Amino acid sequence: MNAEEAHAVHGWEDVTVHTEPAHVFCTKCCAKLMTVKPAFALRHGVENGIASRHRSFSYCNHCKKQYWEGTHWDSIRKRLKVVSRIAAKSSAL
C-alpha cells in the first residue's frame, strides 16, 4: 500500500500499529501462552538447533504447542513499520 492508497482509507486515526507482534494466544486452541526459556523449550520438543538460536519461546500449557520467532518475523516487522509510517502521515493531515 502506498501513501495515496492509505489516504483513501477512512479511519486511520483509529488505527494503532504495533510493530512488535506478540505471541499472546495459541493459534491452535486459543489458550493464553506462557513465555519460556530455551531450556524449557528443548525439554518440551523443540530441536536443539532452534533452541540455541532463540532467547525465548511461547508455550501453550493446554495443547503443548510452542512458538518462536522464525525468519518471517523480520518481514512482518518491515511491513508493519511501513504501515505505521503511512498511518502516521495520514493521521497528521
Binding mask 29-68 for Zn ion (x = CB under 5 A): x-x----------------------------x-xx-x---
Compute the least distance from the CB of residue 33 to Zn ion, in Å.
8
Overall residue count recorded for the chain in this entry: 93
In eight-state DSSP terms, residue 9 is: S
Residue in the structure block whose three cell numbers are 493521521: 91
Compute the least distance from the CB of residue 28 to Zn ion, in Å.
4
Could you tell me the strand order of the sheet in which 66-67 lies? 34-36, 57-59, 66-67
Compute the least distance from the CB of residue 76 to Zn ion, in Å.
21
